[in-house]
Amino acid sequence: QQPVQSPQAVILREGEDAVINCSSSKALYSVHWYRQKHGEAPVFLMILLKGGEQKGHDKISASFNEKKQQSSLYLTASQLSYSGTYFCGTEAQGGSEKLVFGKGTKLTVNP
Amino acid sequence: NAGVTQTPKFQVLKTGQSMTLQCAQDMNHEYMSWYRQDPGMGLRLIHYSVGAGITDQGEVPNGYNVSRSTTEDFPLRLLSAAPSQTSVYFCASSYLLAVTYEQYFGPGTRLTVT
C-alpha cells in the first residue's frame, strides 16, 4: 500500500523550518527519504531502520515511529537549495529493496 | 566512477514495438531496481534484483522483463510497447551493509509511445 505524505505542498521563506510526514498502514522495516529537483533524478537523503532512530544530514533530519508506522522529515533553517519534491519510500520486508513510494511533497523556498 | 548510467536518454516508440533500456553501475552494488515515474504518481517499482541471477517483480511488472547476468548490468525490456508505458524510467543501484546504506539513481530515460 502506498504511504501517504503530508502536506502535498509547502511554501517557505529562506530560514524557515518545515516538517514533512509519511504514514503507512503496513508494518515497516525501513523508511527512505529522497529529494528530486524538476527534470532530475531523485537523490537519496537518508534511511531510517526499525528502531526509531533519528538521523541527521546537515540541517535535514528525520525520525521513524515504528509503532505508528510514521516518519517525519525535518528541514531546519531552509535554504533555496532545499526546493524540490520530497518522497518517502517504505520497505515492509528487511533487505528486500521492495520500496513503495508516496506521491511526494513539493517544497518551495523563496528568498 | 561513472555511478549509474542509463541509455538512451530519450526514446520514441510506436505501439507494438519492443526495446531494451540499458542500465549499468560501476560501484559493485548488489541491489538494482527499475522504477517508472508518471506525473503526480511518484515512483513505482517495476522489477528489482538482489544480486546477479536473482530478480523479482515490483509493483507494476506487467509488460516488462528483466534479467541480471552480471553485477554491473540490469537491462529492462519492453515486450510490446503501449501508450500507457509512456513515462520516465529510472534505474537505481544500492548497497546495504549493517547500518551503512547508499543508493544512486541513473539520469533517467524519457520514453514516449505513440
Taking only the tens place, the pLDDT of each residue in A74-111 is 999 999 999 999 999 999 877 677 899 999 999 999 99
Distance CA B72, CA B26 (A): 6
Best residue in B50, B103, B109 to probe A by mutation, most A CBs within 10 Å?
B103
To the nearest whole Å, the CA of A18 is away from the closest chain B CA by 20
Contact A95 B99 (CB under 8 A): no
Per-residue pLDDT reduced to its tens digit, B28-80:
999 999 999 998 778 999 999 999 999 999 999 999 999 999 999 999 999 99
Per-residue pLDDT reduced to its tens digit, A28-84:
989 999 999 999 999 999 999 877 566 667 789 999 988 889 999 999 999 999 999
Closest listed residue to residue B57, CA positions, set A98, A3, A29, A1: A98
Contact A101 B42 (CB under 8 A): yes
Give the three cell numbers for residue B102.
547508499
